[in-house]
Structure 1
Amino acid sequence: MAIEGTGVSELATRYSIALFELADENKALDQVASDLVALKQILAESADLRRLVRSPVISRADQGRAMAAVLDRAEVSDLTKRFIGLVAKNRRLFALEGMIEGYLAELARRRGEVTAQVTSAQPLSDAQLAAVTDALKASIGSKVLINTTVDPALIGGMIVKFGSRMVDTSVRTKLNKLQLAMKASGGSV
């Protein structure tokens, strides 16, 4: 796994590698991945939990208890609970999202999968998601995992990012380009 940058990303990378190796030894790669995806979703949906993991003011004991309660409710595996407990004890919860991303990226890399980030103005239907997945498989030539997000500011269309490539077909970008073209030609906007 390549270390990208310094600071938090390097820290997150070290922890995600350790968790990956531990899960691999315990033949629990898929279970831990499932746990982490669920935790990622919980973090995305809860502003309070995001504040908890990022706050330097909340004691490590309180952070540990709160995370244990969240993990119990989410019914994650014992391995994941112990790992997150260690992260809380070491006051590293601020890097948890990076650890989750690092673990999932390493699992995808090991399996020969490419992860694409698809941002759309509205939630994609199953048929639309299948069409995007098929188009990416044909373009990339390997398995594709898709993470979707919704950004109503796009107005319409979508932005697809995979690897170092990005395809932006959003209405917002088209309008911005049109506005720039009109300014360049001396027209008023």
Structure 2
Amino acid sequence: MAQLISKRYAKALFDIAIETNTMDELESQVQMIHQVLESEEEFMQILQHPHILREEKMQLLKDVFSSIVSNELMGLLTLVVQKGRQEHLLEILSTFLDEVKTYKGIVTAVVISAVPLKEEQIEKIKQTLTSRIKKQIQIETQVDPSIIGGLKIRVGDRILDASIYGQLQGLKTSLYDMQLV
């Protein structure tokens, strides 16, 4: 149910972005609001608090965001609170950003390494993936020391495991298979 709610609101904002030809502007505004709401837990707690009136929550949103976001986005934010769906706000914004990525043909690749990667390494990975997938790539990096070394790359539902841990797991499986024969 929550996913359906998020898709409907996000789709409405996406349609407005296409109609008004303001996709890039709305995308940057939504990213900014998403970052604020994600990093400021107290702000989200206020929006979700049952004893604070909806009018006060809508006024808070207007006070904070009305001078820096478009009327269309402000209208969405106040509508979500007016309908009592503020607990879905982050998911709505994320869904909108995903729709924009799909529309622009951008694919996100999650690169997991044992140590933080340097910018040159990230750029080389990005170039390699772009040439193989033939789409624009956005890289997200994660550090996971448990993979010991190498990389794990996830693009959509595909995973390339070139980590030492993955190779050790493969060797372990092979050894078990040899013992069963």
CA distance in 1, matches of 2:88, 2:57: 13
1:21 and 2:15 aligned: yes
1:48 and 2:6 aligned: no
Instruction: State the identity %.
Output: 24
Which residue number corresponds to residue 162 of structure 1?
155
Q: 1:125 to 1:17 in 2, by over 3 A?
A: same
Q: 2:130 is matched with which residue: 123, 126, 137?
A: 137
CA distance in 2, matches of 1:44, 1:175: 36
Alignment of 1:40-189 (within 5 A): 40-53=34-47, 55-59=48-52, 60-72=54-66, 75-120=68-113, 124-146=117-139, 148=140, 150-151=142-143, 154=146, 159-169=152-162, 173-174=165-166, 177=169
Q: 1:129 to 1:61 in 2, by over 3 A?
A: farther
CA distance in 2, matches of 1:31, 1:95: 22
- TM-score, normalization: structure 2? 0.75
Q: What's the CA shift string for 1:64-84, capped at 9, x where partnerless?
A: 2333333247x2223222211
**Total equivalences in the alignment:** 175
CA distance in 1, matches of 2:79, 2:106: 29
CA distance in 1, matches of 2:112, 2:19: 35
Question: Letter of the aligned partner of 1:9 in structure 2?
Answer: Q
TM superposition shift of 1:14:
0.7
TM superposition shift of 1:104:
1.8
Q: 1:27 to 1:69 in 2, by over 3 A?
A: same
CA distance in 1, matches of 2:66, 2:163: 40
Q: 1:116·1:163 contact (CA, 8 Å) conserved in 2?
A: yes
Q: 1:127 to 1:10 in 2, by over 3 A?
A: same
Aligned CA RMSD, in angstroms, stands at: 3.2
- Unaligned runs of 5+ residues in structure 2 are none
Q: What's the CA shift string for 1:100-129, capped at 9, x where partnerless?
A: 222122222222222233455665433232
TM superposition shift of 1:98:
1.9
Larger Cα-atom Rg: 2
